[in-house]
Amino acid sequence: MAQSLVKEFTKGLWAEIPLFRLVLGLCPALAVTKTCENGIGMGMATTFVLLFSNILVSMLRNIIPSKVRIACYIVIIATFVTIVEFVMQAYTYELFLKLGIFIPLIVVNCVVLGRAEAFAGKNTVMLSAADGLGMGIGFTLALSSLGAVRELIGAGTLTVWGGTPLFTIGHGYIPFQFMVEAPGAFVGLGMMLCLMNLIGKK
């Protein structure tokens, strides 16, 4: 049992890391990763939703009729998303402002619904929780690393938490602003995927 828990948890961190391996959840990945901080925030919000929606979906998996399964899953997910929205407003307000419209869109992040359908709908609560947490952390890692790369190249800074840059590249550096603009998001993710391919497939 413990072994399979660990397995379900760790697979999301590397072997099936959602953004890079499965190429899921692209919208938030591209939209919010202007800074590393945003990536971390979005990742944490998604992790929270993934964890709790996975738990609830797996608890209810036997009573939800399959024809309204998508509708039910999505209500569960949306509920947690709204809770996250409140919590972020109450405790991490500045981040909430930056992530703006993308918080409600966690609802339609295919990673979340995908895990509900593919995993939580068929597995026990414990396994689903491990899976959700692993996938969420993997997603957070991916978002924050993409955010870090884009921010470093595009703005010359690295912001991890609290809005003030943790690190700034020396004054001689002229930021390559392309990377923090929309096209840079696509190119940045493309290059990250390439890097993952180079490091090695599962």
Partner 1 sequence: MIPAILLMLGIGATCGIVLSLSSKIFYVYEDPRIAQVENNLAGANCGGCGYAGCSAAAEAVVAGKEPPTVCIINSKEGVEAVSRIMGVDAGAAEAPLSYNLCEGGNRAENKYHYMGVSSCKAMTAVFGGHRVCTVGCIGLGDCVKACQFDALHMGPDGYPVVDDAKCVGCGACQKACPKDIIQVKTLSEKLMEFNQEHGALAPCSQTCPAEINIPKYISEIKAGKYDEAVQTIRMRNPLLLSCGRVCPHPCEDMCRRGIEDEPVSINQLKRFVADYEMNSGSRIPITCAPDTGKKVAVIGGGPAGLSCAYFLRRIGHQVDIFDAMPKLGGIIRYGIPEYRLPKKVLDWEIQGILDLGINAFTQVKFGVDFGLSSLIASGYHAIFMGIGAWNDYALGIEGEDLDGCYKGIDWLSRFAGGQEMKLGKTAAIVGGGNSAIDCVRTLKRLGLEKVYIVYRRTRNEMPANEVEIVASEHEGIDFVFLAAPTRVIGDENGKVKGLEYLQMELGEPDASGRRRPVPIEGSETVLDVDMVISAISQAPDPSFKDTDPTPKIKDLELTRWNTIDNNPETLQSSIPYIFTGGDSATGPSLVVTAIGGGRRAARSIDLFLKGKPVEPVENSLQGKNIPESIFKKVDGITPIKRAKMPEIPVSERLDSMIEVDLVLPEDQALAEADRCLNCCRICYNPDTEFPIAK
Partner 2 sequence: MREMLSMIVVLTVLTAVSGGLLAAVKVKTEPRIEEQVLKFQKAPAIKAIFADATNDPIKERFNVKAEDTELQVFPSTLADGIKAVAFEAKGTGFGGPIGLMVGVNLDTDEIIAVRVTTHAETPGIGSRAKEDLSFVGQFAGMSMASNFGTKGQGGDIDAMSGATVTSVGVSQAAVAAQNLYKKLKPEIVKQMN
Partner 3 sequence: MGDLFVLAISCIFINNILLAQFLGNCPFLGTSKKMETAVGMAMAVIFVLVMAGMITWIVDLYLLKALNVEFLRTVSFILVIASLVQFVEMFLKKSIPGLYAGLGIFLPLITTNCAVMGVCLINIKEEYTFIQALVSSFAYAVGFGLALILFAGVRERVILARVPKALQDTSIGLITAGMIALVFTVFRGMV
| From 23, 166, 191, 194, residue interacting with partner 1 (rule: CB under 8 A) | 23
| From 9, 12, 16, 33, residue interacting with partner 1 (rule: CB under 8 A) | 16
Give the binding-site size for partner 1 (rule: CB under 8 A): 19
Cβ pair 133, 11 in contact under 8 A: no
Q: Which two tokens stand for residue 47?
A: 């992790």
> Near partner 1 by CB under 8 A, which window of 52-60, 97-105, 111-119, 146-154?
111-119
For CA atoms 156, 161, 163, 166, give the dihedral sign: negative
64 counts as binding partner 2 under rule CB under 8 A: yes
Identify the bridge partners of residue 168 per DSSP, sorted by sequence position. 157
Q: Which does 34 bind (CB under 5 to 8 A by kind): partner 3, partner 1, partner 2, none?
A: partner 2
Residue 158 CB, nearest approach to partner 3 (Å): 22
Q: Which two tokens stand for residue 13?
A: 């961190």
Judged by beta carbon, residue 44 or residue 112, the one nearer partner 1 is 112
Distances (CA, A) of 125 to 5, 38, 60, 155, 170: 11, 30, 10, 43, 49
User: Which residue intervals of the chain are DSSP H helices?
Assistant: 2-11, 26-31, 36-60, 69-91, 93-99, 110-115, 125-155, 182-199
Distance CA 177, CA 157 (A): 12
Which residues contact partner 2 (rule: CB under 8 A)?
34-35, 60, 63-65, 67-68, 71-72, 75-76, 78-79, 82-83, 86-87, 89-91, 93-94, 97-98, 100-101, 151, 154-157, 159, 175, 177, 180-181
Residues forming contacts to partner 1 in the complex (CB under 8 A) are: 16, 21-24, 66-68, 71, 75, 110-111, 113-114, 116-119, 121
